[in-house]
Amino acid sequence: MEKRGISKLDLKRRNRMQILRVIRESGPISRVDVASALEITRAAVTIITNEMIEEGVLVEIGEAPVNTEKLQKGRRKILIDINVNSRFALGATVDEKEVSVGLTNLNSEILDKSSMVIDERTTSKDIINYIIKTSNEMIDNSCLTKDKILGLGVGVVPSMWGKLKIFYKDGVLDFSNFIDKLKSGLDFDIHCGNAIGLMALANNDFRVQNGYQTNQAFICNGNQINLAVVNKNELSSDYISYTSTIEKYIVAPDGKQYEGYPNGSVKAELSRTAMLNAFYDIYSKEKTPVLYELTEGDKGRISTDNVFMALMRGEEAVKNLVDSLIAKYAVLINNLSISHFAKKIVLHNFKLNEKQFDYVKREMIHLISEEIADRVVLSRLDGKNNFLGGCALIIQDNFYIRGGMQ
């Protein structure tokens, strides 16, 4: 007769995984509160957490603060938390302009990082060799034994899949060829994924806020515009692979055309190429004298900084175009807030400094509600820290999902 059910090992892993999830979202936390959150006995939680403490996965950090208004007799609660230095993660991200590699602990605190600029002349072999060489160097320099390394997580942006021979197989991204090449020089576990979703995870705040988890929409700007959605601390399955579907969203009804896309789509109106072409259309010594001076008559030198400098110096044509682009983004952000119940909209790779971002948000407040405009934040990852997306993947797969078990 065929046996069915869950094995003792799987049950143990699942229980540990649930405990780690509660601590990640609510910790530091007492065993009593873990038991309450999971609706299991305190004795069971004590047995499991004590074992995890002996293994170094968890750590006791002292007694819980006393609320003098609700002072109770008996033993004070002892708080436990994840030992963030019990294991370490290597991560790498390949985007359109660079490869970034880094080493972190379980709390994504950066211990080492490195990056290499790439262009159309950079080969897939160059990229793979750089990841292998840099990962091995970081392990050697860290004085960490390999049993302390969870593995390597690698994120690749969609526009680079073709270069690295990453294709769809049966409707799923197939990284096997890429992973095999990395494994030729690396002696540990390697996991890969769409960099957009992984960077969204790395930006996510897993802690529960006011009793709920914050949904997040992550917009990545580049030659392609990509969207990933984190829903209740999980990457939405709709955005694990197909992150470029945002380019078909309409932000300007009856707007510009782009073959294969609706009129007024994100692709036609807000892609990097579309925005540059919009500035090229108004660029001249007569129409935009300030911008023309700042770029020394070379439209190839148009940049975010030059555009905002011209705007601040009163260049009306530039201001009108910038405000028009912000208005289209306001439409997109408003729709994302409604359709995904997103409480946070993260802008990644927009190259805005604090003053420029303040201008964008002020304009958005005039167009959409202040409450929605306040949801918009800049990504905490800059180009050289994009590897945190890869770290987030390997930490999720090889630590949390495994319940901290090796």
Instruction: Please indicate, yes or no, if residue 3 is contained in any of the structural domains.
Output: no
The count of C-alpha atoms lying within 13 angstroms of the C-alpha of 29, restricted to the half-sphere facing its C-beta, is 23
Determine the Cα–Cα distance for residues 218 and 197; give it in Å rounded to an integer: 8
Determine the Cα–Cα distance for residues 183 and 135; give it in Å rounded to an integer: 12
3-state SS class at 272:
helix
Instruction: Please indicate, yes or no, if residue 263 is contained in any of the structural domains.
Output: yes
Question: Which residues touch 181 (CB under 8 Å, ≥6 apart)?
Answer: 128
Q: How many domains does the chain have?
A: 3
Instruction: Please indicate, yes or no, if residue 174 is contained in any of the structural domains.
Output: yes
Instruction: Please indicate, yes or no, if residue 1 is contained in any of the structural domains.
Output: no
Structure tokens at 285: 């010594």
Give this prediction's pTM.
0.91
Per-residue pLDDT at 27: 78
Instruction: Please indicate, yes or no, if residue 41 is contained in any of the structural domains.
Output: yes
Per-residue pLDDT at 384: 78
**Whether residue 198 is found in the same domain as residue 339:** no
How many C-beta atoms lie closer than 10 Å to residue 11's C-beta?
A: 11
Per-residue pLDDT at 222: 85
Instruction: Please indicate, yes or no, if residue 207 is contained in any of the structural domains.
Output: no
Structural domain boundaries, residue 141: 88-202+385-400
**Whether residue 135 is found in the same domain as residue 283:** no
Question: Which residues touch 375 (CB under 8 Å, ≥6 apart)?
Answer: 333, 337, 342, 343, 344, 345
Cα pseudo-dihedral 282, 286, 292, 293, rounded to 10:
-160
Per-residue pLDDT at 344: 93
Helix (H), strand (E), coil (C) string for 44-79: HHHHHHHHHHHHCCEEEEEECCCCHHHCCCCCCCEE
**Whether residue 224 is found in the same domain as residue 339:** yes
Per-residue pLDDT at 80: 96
Instruction: Please indicate, yes or no, if residue 161 is contained in any of the structural domains.
Output: yes
Per-residue pLDDT at 72: 55
**Whether residue 76 is found in the same domain as residue 93:** no
CA-CA distances (angstroms) from residue 247 to 96, 97, 199, 226? 17, 21, 19, 7
Which of residues 27, 48, 82 is at a domain's end? Answer: 82
**Whether residue 13 is found in the same domain as residue 67:** yes
Question: Which residues touch 403 (CB under 8 Å, ≥6 apart)?
Answer: 12, 13, 14, 15, 16, 17, 19, 20
**Whether residue 324 is found in the same domain as residue 363:** yes
Instruction: Please indicate, yes or no, if residue 62 is contained in any of the structural domains.
Output: yes
Q: How many helices (H) and strands (E) does the chain have?
A: 14, 15
Structure tokens at 9: 């090992």
Per-residue pLDDT at 3: 52
**Whether residue 56 is found in the same domain as residue 193:** no
Average pLDDT per consecutive 10 residues, the chain (406 residues; last block may be shorter): 67 94 92 93 95 96 67 72 97 96 97 96 97 96 92 97 94 94 96 96 84 84 93 86 93 94 96 95 97 97 96 97 97 93 93 95 94 94 89 97 93
**Whether residue 94 is found in the same domain as residue 77:** no
Which of residues 82, 109, 144 is at a domain's end? Answer: 82
